[in-house]
Amino acid sequence: MATRIQMDFSGLNLADYDKVCEALNFPSDWPDGLLAHTSAEVDGRLRVVDIWESPGQFDGFVEGRLGPAIGGALGDRAEQPQRSDRELYTFYAK
């Protein structure tokens, strides 16, 4: 079942997000299993919300690509987000 994964980064902003996306070549190199992606700055902090086919696919992406990209792009400013997952009952996209 599709899963919403929300990540809140307390010390990062949209400029940091752009650096990480550049390191990932995202969205050109779209990860397998990612159905939808959005980002915003909420109260001065970065929030990323994804819809994945499964949490396991997201975890594999973090291990293989996202974690190294964050470390490479942000160095000692890299941080672990506060993460919340929610299995979705429905997910429709046009």
Is the C-alpha dihedral spanning 22, 57, 80, 88 positive or negative?
A: positive
Number of separate domains in the chain: 1
Question: Given this model, what pLDDT does residue 37 score?
Answer: 98
Per-residue pLDDT of 10-22, as tens digits, reads: 999 999 999 999 9
Question: Given this model, what pLDDT does residue 1 score?
Answer: 86
Domain extent at residue 25: 3-85
Q: Is the pLDDT of residue 81 over 90?
A: yes
Instruction: Starting at the earlier edge strand, list the strands of the sheet with 82-87.
Output: 34-42, 45-52, 3-9, 82-87
Question: Given this model, what pLDDT does residue 72 score?
Answer: 96
Whether 31 maps to a domain, the answer reads yes
Per-residue pLDDT of 21-79, as tens digits, reads: 999 999 999 999 999 999 999 999 999 999 999 999 999 999 999 999 999 999 999 99
Q: In CATH, what number is assigned to the domain containing residue 77?
A: 3.30.70.100
Whether 90 maps to a domain, the answer reads no
φ and ψ at 33, to 5 degrees? 95, -15
